[in-house]
Amino acid sequence: MSNSLLIGLYGGTFDPIHKGHCHLIQQLLNRQIVDELVVTPVGNPWMREQTPFASGEDRLAMVKLAVVDLPKDIQPRVKVSDSEVRRGGSTYSIDTVLELRAEKPDAEIVLILGSDAYSSIGKWHRSAELLELVRVFIVAREGVGFDIDALAISSTMIREKILTKIDVSAELPESVWSYIKERNLYASK
């Protein structure tokens, strides 16, 4: 194991970010899998058939709110990156990794992926180059990868519940739920 700083890169649509995402963030840091974590909402996920429901700015704002709701000992080790939302156009993990490497050239970057995302990494833009630049940490989804006692929550499930007026307050950080209600996000298709 190297002695360099381990920076986790945790990207996602976060549409919206929920307590399952926050649980993963805490597990990565509490279990010392990474020293720091950069949470990056994707701008335009080119491999998804459907564009995100909330704008990049709204998803970025919700991620920032969720980080503030994390335990005080975790917060200083979590950074929220606007790089993919700011970049515009189709966004690629390789570009985000290269940007992070330029900022922290001595750090080792650990790409955090669910096993479902990892299964398609060969289709990613410049995937061979990406895999040479990072260490991959696979989080178990359906039994494959590192088990973090994941919470059974999904953004899709939350959006569907909001659309049908089912209470989701227990599945979201309080500030994120307030933001969603204030902006009337996910209330219609």
Can you tell me the mean pLDDT for 162-180? Answer: 96
Q: State the pLDDT at residue 140.
A: 86
CATH topology of domain 6-183: Rossmann fold (3.40.50)
pTM for this predicted structure: 0.93
Q: State the pLDDT at residue 45.
A: 67
Mean pLDDT of the chain: 92
Can you tell me the mean pLDDT for 24-47? Answer: 91
Q: How many CB atoms sit inside 10 A of residue 47's CB? A: 12
Better-predicted residue by pLDDT, 90 or 133 = 133
Tell me how far apart the alpha carbons of residues 172 and 20 are, in angstroms, rounded to a whole number. 8
Measure CA 168 to chain center.
20
Can you tell me the mean pLDDT for 120-135? Answer: 95
Can you tell me the mean pLDDT for 17-24? Answer: 97
Can you tell me the mean pLDDT for 65-90? Answer: 94
Q: How many CB atoms sit inside 10 A of residue 180's CB? A: 22
Q: State the pLDDT at residue 149.
A: 86
Straight-line distance from the first to the last Cα atom of the chain, in angstroms, rounded to the nearest whole number: 47
Tell me the domain boundaries of the chain.
Answer: 6-183
CA angle 156, 51, 137 (to 5 degrees): 65
Tell me how far apart the alpha carbons of residues 176 and 188 are, in angstroms, rounded to a whole number. 18
Can you tell me the mean pLDDT for 139-159? Answer: 86
Task: State percent of the chain over pLDDT 90.
Answer: 78
Choice among 4-18, 35-49, 130-144 with the minimum mean pLDDT: 35-49
Q: State the pLDDT at residue 185.
A: 96
Tell me how far apart the alpha carbons of residues 116 and 33 are, in angstroms, rounded to a whole number. 20
Give the three-class secondary structure for 82.
coil
